[in-house]
């Protein structure tokens, strides 16, 4: 039985867009994500250390970004979608006080494997923080 809010493969088509999602970048999100992923690099939680590295503020780690990408796609696809792959590339850093806005679209549709490909980006005020593709198997 498929949960009602899970996308079904037969109902998804290439070109379909995912709803935009804006995420405020806060100190709590950056530091909490670093701690939750056991990334104790000082640039993710210590303002003085980040500034000593030449950064204006602490900055988000890649594992937090990865989790936000997963959240964005899963919010659209639903809880029964299975991630087959997630490939991302980082660009501009995410600093507290900014916002990152996700956009995405279905760019692939493989009926043999019931897999759809999502191409996405997460932009902040400096440009793309993250770009990538996600392959999902849908019921």
Looking at the chain, the whole-number percentage of residues with pLDDT higher than 90 is: 96
Tell me the sheet residues that pair with 93: none
Domain ranges of the chain: 9-137
Looking at the chain, the whole-number percentage of residues with pLDDT higher than 70 is: 97
Task: Give me the pLDDT at residue 4, please.
Answer: 64
- 3-state SS, residue 32: helix
Q: Is the pLDDT of residue 127 over 90?
A: yes
Express each pLDDT in 10-30 by its tens digit. 999 999 999 999 999 999 999
Q: Is the pLDDT of residue 1 over 60?
A: no
Task: Give me the pLDDT at residue 111, please.
Answer: 97
**What tokens were used for 68?**
């936000």
Across 102-128, average pLDDT? 98
Q: Is the pLDDT of residue 2 over 70?
A: no
Cα dihedral sign, 91-99-57-38: negative
Compute the distance between CA of residue 128 and CA of residue 130 in angstroms, rounded to an integer. 5
Domain 9-137: top CATH class: alpha beta
Task: Give me the pLDDT at residue 48, please.
Answer: 98
DSSP 38-69: T---GGGT-HHHHHHTT-SS----HHHHHHHH
Express each pLDDT in 52-91 by its tens digit. 999 999 999 999 999 999 999 999 999 999 999 999 999 9
Q: Is the pLDDT of residue 7 over 50?
A: yes
């Amino acid at each position: 039985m498929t949960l009602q809010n899970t996308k079904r493969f037969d109902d998804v088509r290439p070109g379909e867009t995912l709803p935009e999602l804006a995420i405020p970048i806060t100190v709590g999100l950056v530091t909490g994500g670093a701690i939750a992923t056991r990334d104790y690099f000082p640039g993710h939680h210590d303002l003085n250390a980040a500034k000593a590295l030449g950064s204006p503020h602490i900055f988000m780690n890649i594992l937090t970004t990865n989790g936000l990408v997963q959240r964005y796609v899963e919010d659209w696809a639903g809880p029964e979608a299975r991630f087959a792959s997630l490939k991302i590339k980082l660009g501009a850093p995410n600093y507290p006080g900014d916002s990152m806005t996700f956009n995405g679209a279905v760019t692939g549709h493989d009926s043999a494997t019931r897999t759809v490909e999502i191409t996405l980006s997460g932009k902040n005020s400096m440009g793309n923080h993250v770009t990538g593709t996600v392959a999902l198997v849908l019921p």
